[in-house]
Amino acid sequence: MNRLLIGIGTFLGSTMGSYFPVLWGGSLLSLSSIFFGMIGGILGIIFAYRLSKYLGFI
């Protein structure tokens, strides 16, 4: 279950992060989209790890 939560967190974080530049008129294929996708993925991993720790899976 731990791997599943971290995978979901990574997917959702990177998806939301790469969509973030579109809010100010940027492109989904821009360098800022890749950067924010990476940041969102890292934050998604951290959030999912803390969530799985809170739920008692770790």
| Number of independent structural domains in the chain | 1
Q: What residues of the chain score a pLDDT lower than 70?
A: none
Q: Where are the beta strands (DSSP E) in 1-58?
A: none
pTM: 0.86
Q: Which pLDDT belongs to residue 29?
A: 87
Q: Which pLDDT belongs to residue 25?
A: 86
Please give the residue range of the domain that contains residue 32.
2-55
Cα Rg of the chain (Å, integer): 13
31's CB contacts (< 8 A; 6+ apart) are: none
Let me know the angle formed at the C-alpha of 31 by 18 and 43, rounded to the nearest 5 degrees.
Answer: 40
Q: Which pLDDT belongs to residue 36?
A: 95
